[in-house]
Amino acid sequence: MAVAVENGRRMFDYWLTVYKRTWQGTMISSFLLPMLYLAAMGIGLGSFVDNNGTGALGGVSYLQFIAPGLLASTALQIAVGEATYPVLSGLKWQKFYYSMIATPLRPADVVYGQLAFIAFRVFTSCAVFLVIITLFGGLKSPFGALGLLVALLVGMATAAPIAAFATTLENDSGFAMVFRFGVVPAFLFSGAFFPVSQLPDWIEWLAYVSPLWHAVDLARNLSLGTVKPWLALLNIGYLLAWFLAGTWLAVRGFTKRLIK
Partner 1 sequence: MTTIAARVVPVPVRLGGGRHLVERNFLLYRRSWVVFISGFFEPVFYLLSIGVGVAHLVGAFTLSDGTKIAYAAFVAPAMLASSAMNGAIFDSTYNIFFRMKYAKLYDSILATPLRPWDVATGEVTWALLRGAIYSAMFIVVMLIMGLVSSWWALVALPAAVLIGFAFAGAGMALTTFMRSWQDFEFVQLTIMPMFLFSATFYPVETYPGAIRWLVEITPLYQGVVLERAFSTGNVSWFLLIHAFYLAAMGTFGMYVASRRLGKLLLK
Residue 224: CB minimum distance to partner 1, A: 16
- Give 7 or 77: the residue with its C-beta nearer to partner 1: 77
Q: Give the nearest distance from C-beta 243 to partner 1 in angstroms.
A: 26
Taking a C-beta distance cutoff of 8 angstroms, is the pair 247, 165 a contact?
no
Which CB, 4 or 40, lies closer to partner 1? 40
- Cβ at position 220, least distance to partner 1 in Å: 15
Q: How far is the CB of 10 from partner 1 (least distance, A)?
A: 28
What secondary structure, in 3-state letters, does the chain show? CHHHHHHHHHHHHHHHHHHHHHHHHHHHHHHHHHHHHHHHHHHHHHHHHHHCCCHHHCCCCHHHHHHHHHHHHHHHHHHHHHHHHHHHHHHHHCCHHHHHCCCCCCHHHHHHHHHHHHHHHHHHHHHHHHHHHHHHCCCCCHHHHHHHHHHHHHHHHHHHHHHHHHCCCCCCHHHHHHHHHHHHHHHHHCCCCCCHHHCCHHHHHHHHHCHHHHHHHHHHHHHHCCCCHHHHHHHHHHHHHHHHHHHHHHHHHHHHHHCC
Whose Cβ is closer to partner 1: residue 16's or residue 32's? Answer: 32
- Which CB sits closer to partner 1, 199 or 245? 199
CB nearer to partner 1: pick between 53 and 229: 53
Nearest to partner 1 of 56, 234 (CB atom): 56
Minimum CB–partner distance for residue 159 and partner 1 (Å): 22
Least Cβ distance, residue 2 to partner 1 (angstroms): 39
Which residues make up the interface to partner 1 (CB under 8 A)?
25, 28-29, 32-33, 36-37, 39-41, 44-45, 47-49, 52, 56-57, 62, 173, 176-177, 180-181, 184-185, 188-189, 193-194, 198-199
**φ, ψ of residue 57 in degrees (nearest 5):** -100, 10
Least separation in angstroms between residue 53's CB and partner 1 is 8
Q: Interhelix angle for 147-166 vs 107-136, to 10°?
A: 140
Give CA separation, 100 vs 2, 5, 33, 138, in Å.
19, 16, 34, 43
- For partner 1, the closer CB: 62 or 243: 62
